[in-house]
Amino acid sequence: MGDRGQTLNDYVLGISVFLLTVAFVVAFLPSIFTPFNAPIDDSTAARASRGATFIIDDLSVEGRANVLDQSRTTTFFEQNETELRRVLGFPRTTDVNVTLVDAETGIVNRSAGDAPGDDPTAATDRIVRIGSNTYQLTVRVW
C-alpha cells in the first residue's frame, strides 16, 4: 500500500453518492412546484357543468327548456360571489363566474361573480333564450 489517503473505492463511492443525489433532486424538483400550477381536474369541470344545469333548471320558464325567465334571471345576476356559491352549492374554496353573452353580437349582457383573471378555469357553455334574444350562458369555476 502506498501512503495516499484516498483509494479508488473511496472515490467511486463518493461519485456514486453525488450522482444519486443529483438524480434525486432532478427527479423530484418539478413536483415541488405542482401545487402552484395545478391543472383543472375532473371534479372542477363537473362542478361547472352541474352549476350550468342548475341555473337553467332554476331560471327556466315552466315547460320551456332553455328559455329563462326575465325577472328571475335579473335577480340571479345581482348576487355577489358568496351568494352565488351558496345558491349553486359550491364550497367556499371554489371561485365561480357566470356570464351571459349576446350570441349575435358577442357583447357581455350580464355577469356575476369574480373575473377569473389568469387562473386556469373549467367552463361550461349553454345556449339560452330570454324573450326573443339568444344568449350564451357560461359558467366558469376555478
Contacts of 55 (CB under 8 A, 6+ apart): 76, 88, 98, 137, 139
Cell numbers at 65, concatenated: 327548456
Residue-by-residue pLDDT tens, the chain, 142 positions: 556 667 888 889 999 999 999 999 888 887 776 666 556 777 888 889 999 999 998 888 888 888 998 899 999 988 888 888 898 888 888 889 999 999 888 888 888 888 887 778 889 999 999 988 899 999 999 8
pTM: 0.67
Neighbours of 51 (CB within 10 A): 24
User: How far from 80 is each of 21, 45, 50, 71, CA to CA, in Å?
Assistant: 51, 22, 19, 17
